[in-house]
Amino acid sequence: MSDGDLDLMESLLGDPVVMRHYDHPRSRTECQSWIDWNTRNYARDGFGLWIIETVDGDCGLTWQPIDGESLELGYHVLPRHQGKGLATEAARAAKDFARLRGDVDVVIAIIDPGNTASIRVAEKAGLSLWKHADYHGREALIHRADLHQDYGCDKASC
Ligand SMILES: CC(C)(COP(=O)(O)OP(=O)(O)OC[C@H]1O[C@@H](n2cnc3c(N)ncnc32)[C@H](O)[C@@H]1OP(=O)(O)O)[C@@H](O)C(=O)NCCC(=O)NCCS
């Protein structure tokens, strides 16, 4: 994700359908802030949310304030590309990326309880319901996957 993706991100995060489980669709300025946030994350962490280049979407990993700090798997896909398995494929790839880094034990997803599609993507990527939590003043489902247990190995041998 870079400054050249601003139009794409505005069409994605500015779409009221895509953002119906968020507090509001994002303005162009907020989309630029989203890109800036991910650019900083790439520099600091070596990862962030990436563009799904084959469609208008993003998916990836960001640190979020759950249980201290937890690595969240996030995903957004434009409505015309939804229902083709793309978020699931991208989420699985991002989870593999986290596992292969070897320095993170768990990934989570923070999901609005009414967001059936997101719950299904999390489940299909191997993240099961862990608990309910308050996330920025809103109730959220926290799904999680243990990256080592999930792949049938303990941390020492993976
Ligand atoms: C969540 C989202 C990324 C899913 O993208 P997608 O590419 O359509 O997902 P997939 O095609 O991989 O579908 C995964 C599963 O969700 C199901 N699904 C998709 N849309 C659904 C809907 N509106 N209601 C119920 N299930 C739905 C699919 O049927 C599939 O399950 P199945 O294989 O058992 O049939 C997409 O709906 C989206 O961008 N939503 C808005 C942004 C958002 O809420 N992101 C998540 C924030 S936590």
Res 156: pLDDT: 54
pLDDT confidence of 155, banded at 50, 70, 90? low
CA pair distance 91, 69, nearest whole angstrom: 20
The reply to whether ligand 1 has any atom less than 6 angstroms from the CB of 32 is no
Is it the case that residue 157 has pLDDT exceeding 90?
no
CA pair distance 112, 119, nearest whole angstrom: 9
Residue 12, amino acid: L
pLDDT > 70 in the chain, percent: 94
Task: Evaluate whether 16 touches 49 at the Cβ level (below 8 Å).
Answer: no
CA pair distance 61, 94, nearest whole angstrom: 7
| Among 13, 59, 84, 88, residue to substitute to test ligand 1 (most atoms within 8 Å of Cβ) | 88
Ligand 1 centroid–CA 157 distance in Å is 34
Res 32: pLDDT: 98
pLDDT confidence of 54, banded at 50, 70, 90? confident
Q: What angle do CA 114, 20, 85 make, to 5 degrees?
A: 75
Task: Evaluate whether 93 touches 119 at the Cβ level (below 8 Å).
Answer: no
The reply to whether ligand 1 has any atom less than 6 angstroms from the CB of 46 is no
Range of weakest confidence among 16-20, 62-66, 105-109, 145-149: 145-149
Q: What is the pTM of this model?
A: 0.93
Determine phi and psi for 64, rounding to 5 degrees: -135, 150
Over residues 6-27, the mean pLDDT reads 97
pLDDT digits (tens, 9 = 90+) for 113-123: 999 999 999 99
Which tokens in the block code for residue 25?
């669709």
